Amino acid sequence: MRMMATGPAAEASASGAPGVTDAGPLRILDPDGELLDGQAAPLPDTEALQLYRAMVRNRVLDERMVGIQRQGRIGFYIGSIGEEASIIGPVAALAQSDWLFPCYRENGGYLLRGMPLQALVDNLFGNGNDSAIGRQMPNHIAWREAKITSVSSPIGTQIPQAVGAAFAAKKRGRPDATMVFFGDGATSSNDFHTGMNFAGVWKAPVVFVCRNNGWAISVPLARQTAAPRLVDKALGYGVAGAQVDGNDLFACYRVAKEALARARRGEGPTLIEALTYRMGGHSTSDDPKVYRPEALLEPWKGKDPLERVRRYLVAQGTWSDAEDQELRRRIDDECKEAIAVAEKTPPPPLESMFEGVFRSMPWHLAEELGEARRNAGSETGAEGAFPL
């Protein structure tokens, strides 16, 4: 069946920008790291190498943090093993002046945008240097300096927030675009509908990046939606859409770059569906073995997004196995160092719980603070472990 693009999506196709077609996902590199016929690398090798390094940093960070969670040193971690290209590619396409509204798996993207690794690790420990002062769930960080808004746990809530920010930028005549990440499960949320509809009507300069990793915790895609493709949902909102191989860094980068260019030209939003796969558990609180047969991972093992770019760079003569090992070792050392620092940093002061809302402390908070001080250090019965 041929999918007809209508409205802005059709115009987008006619102008060469992404439109909703049934052409299949855009792929530039095959799993062996070779350019497909008629495709060109969207980045020079030096820049591709930088993004490869960012993907390796993302991977090594994930492996390390899951490790220390298993040792009981942090309570919770949510990683993105297998999904790195669908994160690093689009984030790399952003300008530093653009806004990034993350879901919760985009740690590698934060680092690429300049968030220090130490800040991320401090947040995981919820220590006194945590930018959220230990008030958020671990891995729910914001970073104002790089225009990264706070991860918000309720699924999909970041979508209308991102659309609102994009609309505000447009009204003020600012050139900023907004990118928002979410998963396949989030496309079943009210907020997805609200955000997509508003963005379509008002041509908000926003790029929706849906990481379709096949699962919403234990719910497989087919139980989530009857739609054969998530990208088709764009059509119903008059939004441009593009489906992309989410394990192909080059394709993810190019599609996002084009979508951002459309947004900046005033042509409105784009929904990108990045087809990828969640190779690990949903988070460290999850055990996928109880609901997902291991055999489902097999076809994806040969499509590793890092391996694809590594092979390309090695074939180009830009990278070697020795350099690869050295890079992984260096990043692992960097992680260990950040963990050691975070672990030594004391928790936020008790008083911080009572600060930040009122200009001067009202009597009832003063009373509670006094009580908290009296109880500090005493056995309260809470062992502080993350409950989920």
Ligand X SMILES: Cc1ncc(C[n+]2csc(CCOP(=O)(O)OP(=O)(O)O)c2C)c(N)n1
Contact positions toward ligand X, by CB under 6 A?
A: 103, 105, 153-155, 182-186, 211, 213, 215-217, 278, 282
Q: Which residue is nearest to ligand X (CB)?
A: 183
| Residue 278 known to be catalytic | yes
Q: What angle do CA 273, 156, 25 make, to 5 degrees?
A: 5
Residue closer to Mg ion (CB basis): 122 or 184: 184
**Count of CB atoms within 10 A of residue 36's CB?**
14
We find the least distance from the C-beta atom of residue 70 to Mg ion, in angstroms, to be 23
Which residues have CB under 8 Å from 119's CB, separation 6+? Answer: 129, 131, 141, 143
Can you point out the beta strands (E) in the chain?
99-101, 178-183, 206-212, 215-216, 219-220, 240-245, 270-275
Selection from Mg ion, ligand X, none that 233 binds (CB < 5 to 8 A by kind) is none
Q: E-strand spans in 217-268?
A: 219-220, 240-245
Active-site residue, selected from the candidate residues 135, 223, 265, 291: 291
Q: Which of the following is catalytic: 278, 308, 310, 311?
A: 278
The residue among 124 and 342 lying less far from ligand X, judged by its C-beta, is 124
In angstroms, give the least distance from the CB of 277 to ligand X: 10
User: How many other C-beta atoms are found inside a 10 Å radius of the C-beta of residue 308?
Assistant: 26
Q: Closest CB to Mg ion among 228 and 370?
A: 228
Nearest distance in Å: CB 180, Mg ion: 15
Contact set with Mg ion (CB under 5 A)? 183-184, 213, 215-216
Which H helix or E strand runs over 296? none
Min dist. Cβ of residue 115 to ligand X (A): 19
Reply yes or no on whether 140 is catalytic.
Answer: no
- Residue number of the CB closest to Mg ion reads 183
User: Among this protein's residues, is 193 annotated catalytic?
Assistant: no
Selection from Mg ion, ligand X, none that 155 binds (CB < 5 to 8 A by kind) is: ligand X
Judging by DSSP bridges, how do beta strands 99-101 and 178-183 pair with one another?
Answer: parallel
Gap between the Cα atoms of 113 and 98, Å rounded: 11
Binds 282: which of ligand X, Mg ion, none (CB < 5-8 Å by kind): ligand X
Please identify every residue annotated as catalytic.
Answer: 278, 282, 291
